[in-house]
Structure formats: C-alpha cells, structure tokens
Structure 1
Amino acid sequence: MAPHPAPPQEPQDSPDGYVGLDVAHAERLARERGWPTVRPLPPDAIITMEYRAGRLNFEVRDGRVARAWKG
C-alpha cells in the first residue's frame, strides 16, 4: 500500500491580523509568512465550502481586507 502524503502545513498565523490591511500588502505578507494559496474574494462571493489546508481567504471591500479565514 502506498504511503499517505502528509497534508500541507499551515503557518501559525491568525487571519484576524490581516483585517483592515490593503489587499496587495495583505497578500504579500501572507505569502511571506508561508501561505501557499491566498484567495482574495469580492463581498458576498459564491464559493464552495471545501476546506483546503494552506489556503487563506480574504473578503475584500474597497481595496482592504474586511474578513479573513483559513481554508
């Protein structure tokens, strides 16, 4: 039987720290902190609910992060 690959590690980083930041700065900071996937989304975007380890989501309003969450 083939070994199971280890799930991607998530940075020990709180999404709350990105709220209020300019989206370009927040994306750059998240990548520097080790997030492999950063996904900016418009307000009320329709998205799937699957959890993806290593992904950080930003809800962006007027060029700033209004909400941030993992997965």
Structure 2
Amino acid sequence: MAPVPHAFGEPDDSTGAYVGLSADAAERRARAKGWTTVRSLPPGAIITLEYLRGRINFEVEHGRVTRCWHG
C-alpha cells in the first residue's frame, strides 16, 4: 500500500512508528499526538474506505498493531 501524503489538519506522525506496539500503547500514543479518531480493527475487517481527516487506523492481531494508516 502506498503511503498517504500528510493531509492538512492531521498530526505530523509516522504510521510506521505504531507497528509492533500493543493496541493500548498505540492508542495512547495516537491520542497524545493529536489524532481525533483512533480505530482498531481485526485483520481482514470489512470497512468503508471514505477518508476521514484526523483518523488513524490500526490493524490489531493478538493485541499488537500489525498495520497502520491514516484516514
């Protein structure tokens, strides 16, 4: 998946920094960085693909973030 460019109004934050963190630690970090919406999803979850500015998404497996993306 190609990286999403930094969108105006979103925290300047690297999604790669979340991979490997526990779901709880990732959520705390995201909120501290200024993300307004934090969404944790199981692998293969069916989701809508609308882009929501200020949202960060985590794919979580066995309590750890395995993938992270904006929107």
The bucket for the TM-score relative to the shorter chain is: 0.7 to 0.9
Q: Letter of the 2:45 partner, please give it.
A: A
Percent pairwise identity: 61
Per the normalisation by structure 1, the TM-score is 0.88
- TM-fit CA distance, 1:9: 1.0
Task: Name the SS for the 2:30 alignment partner.
Answer: helix
2:57 maps to which residue? 57
Could you list the runs of 5+ residues in structure 2 that have no partner in the other structure?
Answer: 1-7
Q: State the alpha-carbon separation in 2 of the partners of residues 16 and 40 from structure 1.
A: 15
Per the normalisation by structure 2, the TM-score is 0.88
Aligned alpha-carbon RMSD (Å): 0.9
Larger Rg: 1
Aligned residue pairs total 64
Residue pairs, 1:1-71, within 5 angstroms: 9-71=9-71
Q: Which runs of 4+ in 1 moved over 4 A?
A: none
